A and B are shown apart, each in its own frame.
Chain A
Amino acid sequence: MEGEVEDKRITLEEAVKLVPDGAHLFWGGFGFQRPPMAFAHELVRQGKRNLTIYTCGSEIDIDILAGARVVSKFELAFFAIEGIGLAPNIQRRIRDGSVQIEDYTNLAMALRFLGGALGVPFMPIKSMLGTDLVTRSKFKPNKVKVIECPFTGEKVALVPSVNPDFSIVHVSRVDREGNAQIDGIKGEDSEGARAGKKTIVLAEEIVDTEFIRSNPDLTVIPNIYVTYVVECPWGSYPMMVYNYYDYDMEHIRMYYQQCKTEEGWQKYCEEYITGVENHMEFLKKIGLERLLKLKARKPLGY
């Protein structure tokens, strides 16, 4: 007899309520792929403050969090609205001093998450050597150390592992126990989801546990690592989820143009984030017709 299935499902609002001001978050998704957009919106709606975010490369999702003054510190490798320009809100918040960024490389951040997941205090890396990424830091007194390898004598950089308070990842599908599948690239989410003290998995769809257990080789994040599960369809809109939907470039371009000014950003935030009650109301505002046009085509996945 199979034991009773544990049910880790909570709502998006409940999940965000768990995050206290000042918390440290691993932020999942990579580039335009699977960012936790709906979670970002809800963090703004609930007025969270002073968060620190760890990620490799992110875009509108973290630009919104900077704009709304939810995040004060980032440790990351890259931020921009790819293919369009610089992230407008983050630029402004850096200038007014309310956001600080500590720079690493993508591999360095991914290894910091792997180190956290493995339970070791640092990871060795052969990037960053000889550059200002080692010599300059914004707020971390111990950002990178270069040592001579005790075995070979060669120079190697060490980066500190990260165990954030929460890991936030948006995936393709998950069962209510928290077994998650990710279609397409994983970015740094496999490691990031395992590094958090608590991990919240948001998913395009909740599937039956039997669906997962009949294909265990497809599980990217097993339930042991997962604390809470949130059903969150279209949760990365206006960005993309492979096999589910494409990005909405029209919306992304509008965001970029409008957020070049503080007034434009305030208007966007009011119209699409704080002015709607929840994620469902946001989707209603975008409209069914527009969303259906973005639905992924088979077999392309976009």
Chain B
Amino acid sequence: MQNLKEHAKPGEYSTLELMAVCGARAIKNGEVVFVGTGLPMVAAMLAKRLHAPKAKIVYEAGFIDSNAIDIALSIADSRLEYRSSAAIGLIETLGILLQGGRVDVGFVGAAQIDEYGNINTTYIGDFESPKVRLPGSGGGNDIVSSAKRIVIVMKHEKRKTVKKLDYMTSPGHLGGPDGRKNAGLKGGGPALVVTNLCQMDFDEKTKRIRLKTVHPGISVETVLENTGFNLIVPEHVPETEPPTYEELEILRSVDPTGIYIPRST
């Protein structure tokens, strides 16, 4: 039996499991957390069962301080109601909680991001005759506009990390350090990007995206080969801390059938 606090070795966990653990670690105890379905939901549930039992998870459909025990497929899934403190509606969650400045961290996905963390989830290709019409903002723009900080979770590909977005659905740091303030936005904007290759954050002065850690087995070169925008690479880029056995054990109990995080072993 391994020590639960020890780090798992390569091959003992999958990339998606590592990403979920990275997401969970971005949540602090006691924070109000706004998540959607998919990997962020699993990350938030993991955080709550580990280091952040007092975190309060909010889902935009109206579930407040949810304690769901089953994995939900829809943002409005009845499964999210389990032991919630309240089940209200969108004006409450997106309006009063989020726009009112009461949400600490929000998780969103992205089809494309640029080097200021601006996000596209609406059109791929030209606006007038797009190649693909994606689902759109949903509550994404509301979350990215008003949460105190944002964690973006996405697949790392050259065509998804672009110099110019096909369409800006949600505001990152817009054109730089004063972009959000000048636009009248309330929240702090993107703070962390978790991909299948690395974690990225944003330079404090320029608000441009910066490599933070590379996942075990991934080189800085591999990250750069798969990145379409200019990425700031510090002199020393540490390796992402691998999951501990405890994190993996709880993660696998959160999503036991592997709906969002397929079992690696």
Contact = CB atoms under 8 A, between A and B. Distances in A.
A84 to B, nearest CB: 8
Interface stretch (A15-23, A25-33, A273-281): A25-33
B74 A136 contact: no
A291 interface: no
A185 B134 CA distance: 26
Q: Which of A30, A101, A132, A136 has the most CB of B within 10 A?
A: A132
B81 A242 contact: yes
Contacts of A132: 122, 127, 167-169
B142 interface: yes
Interface in B132-151: 132-142, 145-146
A78 B78 contact: no
Contacts of B79: 302
A57 interface: yes
B183 to A, nearest CB: 3
Interface in A91-115: 91, 94, 101, 103-108, 110-111, 114
B30 to A, nearest CB: 24
A77 B137 contact: yes
Interface stretch (B82-90, B152-160, B197-205, B242-250): B82-90
A168 B86 CA distance: 25
A184 B81 contact: yes
A125 B99 contact: yes
B190 interface: no
Contacts of B98: 107
B245 to A, nearest CB: 29
B139 A185 contact: no
A133 B121 CA distance: 11
A126 B138 contact: no
B143 to A, nearest CB: 9
Contact of B136 (A32, A77, A184, A190): A77
B77 A32 contact: yes
A250 interface: no
A131 interface: yes
A253 to B, nearest CB: 11
A254 to B, nearest CB: 15
Chain B interface size band reads: 35 or more
A207 interface: no
B188 interface: no
B218 interface: no
B95 A110 contact: yes
Contact of B78 (A77, A83, A302): A302
Contacts of B63: 185
A249 interface: yes
Contacts, number: 188
A107 B186 contact: no
Given A125-B99, A242-B78, A110 B146 contact: no
- Which of B63, B146, B184 gathers the greatest number of chain A CB atoms within 10 Å? B184
Contacts of B73: 32, 82-83, 247, 249
B74 A82 contact: yes
A95 to B, nearest CB: 8
A189 B89 contact: yes
Contacts of B141: 105, 127-128, 131, 133
A247 B138 CA distance: 21
A107 B127 contact: no
Given A105-B141, A130-B179, A131-B170, 13 more contacts: A59-B74, A83-B38, A90-B133, A101-B136, A106-B94, A107-B98, A111-B95, A126-B184, A146-B184, A185-B62, A185-B81, A187-B76, A302-B77
22 contacts: A30-B90, A32-B73, A33-B74, A33-B77, A56-B138, A57-B75, A77-B138, A82-B73, A86-B134, A86-B135, A106-B138, A107-B95, A107-B142, A110-B90, A127-B145, A128-B141, A130-B174, A130-B180, A132-B168, A133-B137, A146-B184, A185-B88
